[in-house]
Amino acid sequence: MRKFSFNNYKIRTKMLLIYCFCVLMPIIFTDAIILYTMNSNYKENRMRDHTYVIERVKSNLSDTIDSCILFTYNLYSDEMLDKFLSKQYINHLDYYEDYMNMKKYNSLSYNYNYGRLYKIITYADNETLVNGGSIAKLETAKEEEWYKEFLESGQDIFLYTYYDVGKKNVPGSGTSRTISIIRKLDYFDKRGMSKILKVDLDYSNMLKDVLNEKLDGEIYVRNKEFILFSNLFTASGTREYESADMIRTEDATTSISFQTGFEEWEILIKAKDVPFWSVIFENKWLLSIVLINIFLPSILIYFVGKSISRRLMIITSYMGKVEKEQFELIEINEGEDEIGKLIKRFNLMVLRIKELIEVVFKGQAEKQDLELAKKNAELKAVQSQVNPHFLFNTLESIRMRSLIKNEHETADIIEELAILFRKTMSWGDDYISVEEEMGFIDNYIHIQRYRFGDKIKYYHYIMDECRTCLVPKLSISTFIENACIHGIETSDKEGVISLTITKSEEFLLVEITDNGKGMDEYRLNELKRMINHADSSMLYESKSTGVLNAYLRLKMYSDGNVLFDIDSKPEGGTEILIRLPLAYSNKEQNPIKDDKEEPFDD
């Protein structure tokens, strides 16, 4: 009679025993409790968090608008302002004296409500007023859309949201997205001279209240026409409003409507799905139930495990020898179950692996070498498109001759160009800080201004936290150069180039705009198609190697995680938005070679 031993039973039989007593029965009982508890807690916690977020956003926005409306009541009941607007002035000197006296005691001279207001203008139907500061004649506003909408509304106080195209290409004029409070100033004379107060709210400050909410999801604030604010990275005061119909109320996880400034707004949250298992650990008491479920079947698991573990340990030790290229046969009593068959297969594998190691391993190594060579060739192909091959000695000769002729301005610009060339010829430090990249851009703009004079206006804003972030060398400079050559140089009007570099919690954001020639829809679509299917082979075929080159290097730098968006209209300029994950822009910089000048042959 055969002696009882677990070694003689198939693994399937032993696994069925483990499954019934150690898995199936405990799981049925435990999972029922887990699912019920987890589902209830998850829904409750998520709804509570969403409610808190909505209440904070609602409170911040309502406080901003209500405080601004309250501010308009101060001007509405300001007798000095009313007299100033109504008075008929003899000449400009008479007007100026009253204006300066009024500014000393009037709310127009105060701080704009702790940053909540951006601009205040009072209009009056008085021909003796002088346009300027916070005062204007009413006739200057009669053709504006906001004035017409205000008259059609028939309201005394009117909250109006619109996109001001005129601000888009005028630096320092504020965001194009505009939210205004408009009201009549008829407190002292309801049938006399028409007087209007227009207060523009600080859109950027209100947007910040939404962006500051840390929520794993999307927040939208809309009125009946537009999506006014959102926490998406594309939210920008320079872009046109998106239609309110782009998001449906039924798609939102949580929503609320509220009345603010005599207008109904709605806040919606589209939350991302939370992984199922991430909620389990919120219920600490479930661990005790799991321990009970494990303890009861432990004895059975012990005997079954002992049958399997001893031989598996032997197999593991021999597999360790294989890792060290020591191929030895296992010589024990294997048993008749699947592990015994596994030992036999292992011995057969050891014999075969000695025969195949030369072919398989060496073939794989050769394949990897070929792939690595291909990647290096692609990278060199990209870099060779950017690396300029200029004759530095020629530039130095021209500079010295200019100095001899006392043409110091020419000599200075040639020296600045030579320095720029020398820096671009070294690729040892391909990843440089934003601060260093700005040095390239400043040199290039200086050279362009020498060439074109005041035709080019260049504005930039770099968030302090972004200056140490790393980007591929000359990547941003390429887009600035492209804006100068293809946007501004071929245009007859004064060119404006704007560069903004900011960051969110996870991304570095680079926005480049110009008011140059732009491009038609066909050319724009072709460029987008080329970017979407970009690879290094296109550098030898495409005419737009500058943009393609920069995009490919950004793509390689971020392992394909770069987001690139371009928008352009004929005679309407071009706008480029680049989003880089901070995980790449904050990584350790490559060792930088010594920046000593290499000697050139005379």
pTM for the structure as a whole: 0.46
Mean pLDDT of 565-569: 90
Confidence of residue 278 (pLDDT cuts 50, 70, 90): low
Q: Is residue 125 part of a domain?
A: yes
CA distances from 557 to 213, 475, 525, 564, 598 (A): 30, 11, 25, 14, 27
379 plus 489 within the same structural domain: no
Specify the DSSP element, H or E, that contains 256: strand 254-260
Confidence of residue 541 (pLDDT cuts 50, 70, 90): low
Instruction: Give, as one character, the DSSP assignment of residue 132.
Output: B
Q: Is residue 344 part of a domain?
A: yes
Name the residue with tokens 């799905």: 273
Q: Is residue 590 part of a domain?
A: no
Q: Hey, what are 49's tokens?
A: 């968090």
**488 exposure class (CB count in 10 Å sphere: 0-12, 13-18, 19+):** buried
356 plus 492 within the same structural domain: no
Mean pLDDT of 131-138: 89
Candidates 380, 430, 382, 370; CA nearest to 536 is 382
- Residue 289 corresponds to which amino acid? I
Confidence of residue 368 (pLDDT cuts 50, 70, 90): low
Give the lowest-confidence range in 7-21, 325-339, 406-420. 406-420
Q: Are 242 and 264 in contact (CB under 8 A)?
A: no
- Give the integer Cα–Cα distance in Å for 63 and 414: 57
CA distances from 118 to 121, 174, 177, 178, 410 (A): 10, 8, 12, 10, 44
Does the pLDDT at position 314 exceed 50? yes
361 plus 448 within the same structural domain: no
Does the pLDDT at position 415 exceed 80? no
CA distances from 440 to 311, 434, 450, 453, 475 (A): 66, 10, 16, 19, 10
- Give the integer Cα–Cα distance in Å for 558 and 555: 5
Give the lowest-confidence range in 255-264, 358-367, 381-390, 501-510. 381-390
Q: Is residue 281 part of a domain?
A: no
Residue 41: per-residue pLDDT: 75
CA angle 7, 11, 17 (to 5 degrees): 100
Candidates 234, 261, 117, 134; CA nearest to 178 is 117
Q: What percent of the chain has pLDDT over 70?
A: 75
SS3 assignment, position 251? helix
Give the lowest-confidence range in 20-24, 68-72, 460-464. 20-24
Residue 148: per-residue pLDDT: 92
Q: Are 41 and 282 in contact (CB under 8 A)?
A: yes
Does the pLDDT at position 343 exceed 50? yes
CA 310 to chain centroid: 55
Confidence of residue 355 (pLDDT cuts 50, 70, 90): confident
Residue 519: per-residue pLDDT: 87
SS3 assignment, position 12? helix
CA angle 565, 471, 230 (to 5 degrees): 40
Mean pLDDT of 348-363: 73
Residue 191 makes CB contacts below 8 A (sequence gap 6+) with none
Q: What percent of the chain has pLDDT over 90?
A: 17
Residue 284: per-residue pLDDT: 60
Residue 576: per-residue pLDDT: 92
Q: Say how many C-beta atoms besides its own lie within 10 A of residue 180's C-beta.
A: 20
pLDDT tens digits, one per residue of 28-63: 777 667 767 776 777 788 788 888 899 999 999 999
370 plus 315 within the same structural domain: yes
Does the pLDDT at position 79 exceed 50? yes
Greater confidence, 365 or 504?
504
CA angle 175, 177, 179 (to 5 degrees): 110
356 plus 454 within the same structural domain: no
355 plus 441 within the same structural domain: no
Partner residues linked to 159 by β-bridges: 181
315 plus 187 within the same structural domain: no
Among 205, 235, 256, the domain boundary falls at 205
Residue 516: per-residue pLDDT: 84
191 plus 323 within the same structural domain: no
Partner residues linked to 184 by β-bridges: 196
Q: Say how many C-beta atoms besides its own lie within 10 A of residue 156's C-beta.
A: 12
Give the lowest-confidence range in 503-507, 538-542, 554-558. 538-542
Residue 281: per-residue pLDDT: 60
Name the residue with tokens 């990897």: 368
430 plus 576 within the same structural domain: yes
Does the pLDDT at position 293 exceed 50? yes
- Domain of residue 147 covers 67-205
Cα-trace Rg, the chain? 36
- Give the integer Cα–Cα distance in Å for 551 and 532: 10
189 plus 316 within the same structural domain: no
Confidence of residue 595 (pLDDT cuts 50, 70, 90): very low
Residue spans of alpha helices (H) in 185-297:
203-211, 286-295
Question: Looking at the 3D structure of the chain, how many domains does it have?
Answer: 3
SS3 assignment, position 260? strand
Residue 14: per-residue pLDDT: 73
Among 383, 413, 447, the domain boundary falls at 383
Does the pLDDT at position 372 exceed 60? no
Q: Which own/partner contact pairs does 489-495 have at CB distance under 8 Å and 24+ positions apart?
A: 489/452, 490/516, 490/517, 491/515, 491/516, 491/517, 494/454, 494/455, 494/456, 494/457, 495/452, 495/455, 495/456, 495/457
CATH number for the domain including 462? 3.30.565.10
Candidates 491, 576, 485, 488; CA nearest to 527 is 576
Largest CA distance in the chain: 129
Q: Is residue 114 part of a domain?
A: yes
Q: Is residue 153 part of a domain?
A: yes
- Give the integer Cα–Cα distance in Å for 236 and 216: 20
Q: Is residue 554 part of a domain?
A: yes
Q: Is residue 40 part of a domain?
A: no
356 plus 455 within the same structural domain: no
Among 383, 411, 441, the domain boundary falls at 383
Most confident among 208-217, 360-369, 379-388 (mean pLDDT): 208-217
Does the pLDDT at position 74 exceed 70? yes
- Residue 445 corresponds to which amino acid? I
375 plus 433 within the same structural domain: no
CATH number for the domain including 97? 3.30.450
